[in-house]
Chain A
Amino acid sequence: MTATTVNHIVPRTSVRSIVVVSAGIGDPSSSKLLADRLAQKTLDLLRERGVEAQVATIELRDLVQEIGRATVSGFIGQDLRPAVERLATADAVIAATPVYKAGVSGLFKSFVDLLDNDLLIAKPVAVTATAGSARHALVPDEQMRPLFAFLRALVIPTALFAAPEDWADRALGTRIERAATELAALIHSGVATTIADGSWTRYQHEFDSIAQPTGAEAQVASPADTEFTGIDFDSDLMRLATGGTPAAADRS
């Protein structure tokens, strides 16, 4: 990441940030409602532990034109950029989508397709979905979990799903509490920071990706030192770039 990139990153504070990404369309949307319940419960649990946190929501329905435009133009426009930057600085993400045609909504997937591969590394993520039928109950586990695994996020053990009948079932509340406990524990533990601080340079980063290690305050505090974050000058390629040869061990 370069100095110019650092400038547009939201400064980190001690308040933890939980970002809900909702692909719900209706108002109210049941997808958003499920995510909100999880977010609220997570906030409550964190507060009990003395951890201050706040929730921000990215409503993908309001960004549908920008997402479409980014998909066909190949770049993220000005109106979509704040949403991506919010994710870059999030301490945890709650992903919420309706199920359409036995899968995550196209809007949801289109948005995720635009993100840098390293944007969510080691971030705690809750996967949640709603559907018109309980037959879609495995969509969060079978579709959303692998998607965030690809992005190397930390998906919490409990995936949340709600069909119409679940809204009248106390068991949904129990599952929300379970998921909130998991999410709050991961946020509180600072595991994302531990992983990123220990291994950030070992992940592949696209040049000028706005991804940053979660919670690493030094990254934001000292842009001069992090001018070339994500660039490993000691790689085989960099050795080749400067007239040398790759490490002998790598030559076959």
Chain B
Amino acid sequence: MQFGIFSVSDVTRDPVTGYTPSEAERISNVVEMARHADEAGLDVFAIGEHHNPPFFDSSPTTLLAAIAATTKNIVLSTSTTLITTNDPVRIAEDYAMLQHLAKGRLDLMLGRGNTGPVYPWFGKDIRKGVHLALENYNLLHRLWREDVVDWDGEFRTPLQGFTSTPRPLDDVPPFVWHGSIRTPEIAEQAAYYGNGFFANNILAPNGHFKPLVDFYRKRYEHYGHGRAQDAIVGLGGQAYIAKRSQDAYAEYRPYFDNNPHGIRIPLEDWTTATPSSVGSPQEVIDKTLGFHDIFGDYQRQLWVVDSAGLPQSAVLKQIDLLAEEVVPVLRKELAARRAPGVPEAPTHADLVRAKYGDKPARQPRPNPNRGDNTTGTSPYQDSDPAKAAVQPAL
């Protein structure tokens, strides 16, 4: 079971002090936050993608590459990478590069995002949002698994004899999670490919995402990847923790009351009705064990700890409290509850072992430049000669 934090990269005015951090401050703070989470022993740090203020992370792979350089163990991920408006070829290239630089400490979560204008800004049609997500992933999946790809889809220029470079680290693609809050087609795609499925588990009532998660589990089994209970499920959440419950509520209340979602009900009612976790470490532990009661064994738990303008000092404190008082207990309790044979979320090492066993991993080495800046009909020394690249005539 992996535990970590995720952020949407918002730059928000602190409603208590009235102070709004600059983009520069917030970017530094988030890098520090990821490093702190790594040092504290959390397993995952994930960052969202946005293309407008008040968010800063338009370039998750650049940010995560910097974080990868200054962290040791933490798995880096996204929450989410926009599979709709990004060219899947660029996703294949950028994240494969990041996977190399992070030495395999990378997976990614694909989503449709929640900001309508991003579609027209990138020349896409929001009415085709689900189509884009599905088709783009189909291409991404192939680009990471086939040296040479011919492609003809509805949304992007056809590809002839295209090789996405660099090939994934050890020729093992990063593990992919599909994030969705209401779209069965996305859950179906996750199940079809045997990928992970992530429910953000925020801003909705307790158990709201269970039907979609159960759907994914059943379809995962349907496609022969394992039992329904073995499907790879991630859940989000939000946490604000203090040693004493009343302090947690008192400290967090102004941030909740000024939330940008328009939710204007008492914090106590909100934490009762939804997966939002506010309180003492024990309360947050109990709440999270409740997720297990609802969803069954799952593989990844992420919390938002830096939203709504919380100051950096509070964010770092949250990471400490999670890592020192909440996660160790959850690790023990959830391990004890886990049914035999239920897998963990796969790491790069797991995937390499699954593909190669004890044999060495493939390390693609390109054939020589033919003189026109391509390798001609066969990209790598060990490429399958039967599958020749037929490149576009110029």
**Interface residues, chain A, with chain B CB atoms under 8 Å away:** 2-5, 69, 72-75, 77-78, 206-208, 227-228, 231, 233, 235-238, 240-243, 245-246, 251
Q: Judge whether B335 is part of the interface by a CB distance below 8 angstroms.
A: no
- Residue contact B218 to A227, C-beta cutoff 8 Å: yes
- Residue contact B182 to A207, C-beta cutoff 8 Å: yes
- Residue contact B212 to A240, C-beta cutoff 8 Å: no
Which single residue of chain B is at the shortest CB-CB distance from A245?
B153
Whole-angstrom CA separation of A231 from B182 in the bound complex: 12
Chain A residues with Cβ below 8 Å from B131 are: 236-237, 240, 246
- Residue contact A72 to B263, C-beta cutoff 8 Å: yes
6 nearest A-B pairs in the assembled complex, by CB-CB distance: A240-B134, A241-B189, A241-B188, A2-B211, A208-B211, A237-B185
Stretch at the interface among B25-33, B200-208, B386-394: B200-208
Whole-angstrom CA separation of A69 from B130 in the bound complex: 30
Whole-angstrom CA separation of A109 from B269 in the bound complex: 24
Whole-angstrom CA separation of A69 from B204 in the bound complex: 13
Whole-angstrom CA separation of A236 from B273 in the bound complex: 36
Whole-angstrom CA separation of A206 from B184 in the bound complex: 10
Instruction: Tell me whether chain A's interface is mostly helix, strand or loop, or mixed.
Output: loop
Chain A residues with Cβ below 8 Å from B94 are: none
Whole-angstrom CA separation of A242 from B211 in the bound complex: 20
Binary flags per residue of B261-276, CB closer than 8 Å to A gives 1, else 0: 1111100011001000
User: Shortest Cβ distance from B186 into chain A, in angstroms?
Assistant: 7
Instruction: Tell me whether chain B's interface is mostly helix, strand or loop, or mixed.
Output: helix
- Residue contact B204 to A242, C-beta cutoff 8 Å: no
Whole-angstrom CA separation of A73 from B262 in the bound complex: 8
Q: Can you give 17 contacting A-B residue pairs, CB < 8 Å?
A: A2-B215, A4-B210, A4-B211, A4-B214, A5-B211, A69-B265, A72-B264, A73-B273, A75-B208, A208-B211, A208-B212, A233-B188, A237-B134, A241-B186, A241-B188, A245-B135, A246-B131
Known A2-B214, A240-B134: A72·B262 in contact at CB below 8 Å: yes
Which single residue of chain B is at the shortest CB-CB distance from A250?
B154
User: Shortest Cβ distance from A204 into chain B, in angstroms?
Assistant: 12
Whole-angstrom CA separation of A194 from B282 in the bound complex: 54
Select A242's contact among B189, B212, B262, B264, beta carbons within 8 Å: B189
Select B215's contact among A228, A238, A242, A245, beta carbons within 8 Å: A228
Q: Judge whether B183 is part of the interface by a CB distance below 8 angstroms.
A: yes
> B residues 112-161 with Cβ under 8 Å of A?
130-131, 134-135, 138, 141, 153-154
User: Shortest Cβ distance from A151 into chain B, in angstroms?
Assistant: 19
- Residue contact B134 to A241, C-beta cutoff 8 Å: yes
10 extra A-B contacts, CB within 8 A, seeds A72-B262, A207-B211: A4-B210, A69-B265, A74-B263, A206-B182, A208-B211, A231-B215, A237-B185, A240-B131, A241-B134, A242-B188
- Residue contact B185 to A241, C-beta cutoff 8 Å: yes
- Residue contact B265 to A72, C-beta cutoff 8 Å: yes
Chain A residues with Cβ below 8 Å from B55 are: none
Chain B residues with Cβ below 8 Å from A207 are: 182-184, 211-212, 215
Chain B residues with Cβ below 8 Å from A4 are: 210-211, 214
Whole-angstrom CA separation of A77 from B273 in the bound complex: 8
Q: Judge whether B249 is part of the interface by a CB distance below 8 angstroms.
A: no
Q: Judge whether B192 is part of the interface by a CB distance below 8 angstroms.
A: yes
Whole-angstrom CA separation of A75 from B182 in the bound complex: 13
Whole-angstrom CA separation of A69 from B193 in the bound complex: 39
Chain B residues with Cβ below 8 Å from A69 are: 265, 269
- Residue contact A238 to B204, C-beta cutoff 8 Å: no
Chain A residues with Cβ below 8 Å from B218 are: 227
Whole-angstrom CA separation of A74 from B154 in the bound complex: 34
Whole-angstrom CA separation of A251 from B204 in the bound complex: 36
Whole-angstrom CA separation of A240 from B211 in the bound complex: 22
- Residue contact A73 to B189, C-beta cutoff 8 Å: no
Whole-angstrom CA separation of A208 from B130 in the bound complex: 18
Chain B residues with Cβ below 8 Å from A5 are: 211
User: Shortest Cβ distance from B223 into chain A, in angstroms?
Assistant: 8
Chain A residues with Cβ below 8 Å from B210 are: 4
Whole-angstrom CA separation of A232 from B247 in the bound complex: 49
Chain B residues with Cβ below 8 Å from A77 are: 205, 273
Which single residue of chain A is at the shortest CB-CB distance from B188?
A241
Chain A residues with Cβ below 8 Å from B261 are: 74
Whole-angstrom CA separation of A243 from B137 in the bound complex: 9
User: Shortest Cβ distance from B201 into chain A, in angstroms?
Assistant: 13
Whole-angstrom CA separation of A240 from B193 in the bound complex: 12
Binary flags per residue of B225-253, CB closer than 8 Å to A gives 1, else 0: 00000000000000000000000000000
Chain B residues with Cβ below 8 Å from A242 are: 188-189, 192
Chain A residues with Cβ below 8 Å from B141 are: 243
- Residue contact B211 to A241, C-beta cutoff 8 Å: no
- Residue contact B185 to A240, C-beta cutoff 8 Å: yes
Known A72-B262, A208-B211, A227-B218: A243·B154 in contact at CB below 8 Å: no
